[in-house]
Amino acid sequence: MLIEAVQFLMDTLLQPFAAILLLRFHLQWLRAPMRNPLGEFVMLITNPLVLRVRRFIPALMGFDTASLLLASLVEIGYLYATLALHAYPMAILPLLAWAAIKLVILSIYLLMGALFVSALLSWTNPHTPFGPVLHSVTEPFLRPLRRLVPPAGSFDFSVLVMFIILELILKLPVAWLESRVLLP
């Protein structure tokens, strides 16, 4: 019972924190505006650690390496603690590879969430303060699809096609890579 409680706390605290750090990395990579409620929340939660790490780890080629490094370390710590909690030994290289795959999975889920919220808000409240940040996150992925799948009237099917592509990416190459890493 104690193991389940500790696992619950790690799932509730560490995984979302890794996702927020990864979101910060992606928002800065995609040059999303940060002067909105979402950007301010991400900065508020992550600044205490990211600003300290930036003193030692500078940005490389415009990428926020401090946020990415911290997201990686949190994910590695989460996976290691989960394995240790359940008494499953794992070598360091497979653990690092698994953490990288988990960050790819988290990135795909963040994009899917942005697509979903963007589509929902476009129907209910198209002038929301979240609009510019969601547009910055989703548009680089939807723009190439819109050339292949043009809007039909007022319906944009590129979002649906992107969901299908992302699910296929999760189910085929990412799942295959994860199974290769987790094999004994």
Task: Report the alpha-carbon distance of residue 154 to residue 133 in Å, rounded.
Answer: 22
Task: Report the alpha-carbon distance of residue 179 to residue 127 in Å, rounded.
Answer: 43
pLDDT at residue 150, rounded to an integer: 85
Rounded to 5°, the CA angle 168-108-172 comes to 25
The domain total for the chain is 1
pLDDT at 141 over 90: yes
pLDDT at residue 182, rounded to an integer: 86
- Indicate whether this model's pTM tops 0.85: yes
Average pLDDT over the chain reads 94
pLDDT at residue 62, rounded to an integer: 85
pLDDT digits (tens, 9 = 90+) for 119-139: 999 889 888 888 999 999 999
Q: If you average pLDDT over residues 134-163, what whole number do you get?
A: 91
| Domain that residue 56 falls in | 2-182
Distance separating the N- and C-terminal Cα atoms of the chain? 27
**Which pLDDT band, with edges at 50, 70 and 90, does 184 fall under?**
low
pLDDT digits (tens, 9 = 90+) for 78-93: 999 999 998 888 899 9
pLDDT at 51 over 90: yes
Task: Report the alpha-carbon distance of residue 177 to residue 115 in Å, rounded.
Answer: 25
Task: Report the alpha-carbon distance of residue 72 to residue 157 in Å, rounded.
Answer: 34
pLDDT digits (tens, 9 = 90+) for 4-25: 999 999 999 999 999 999 999 9
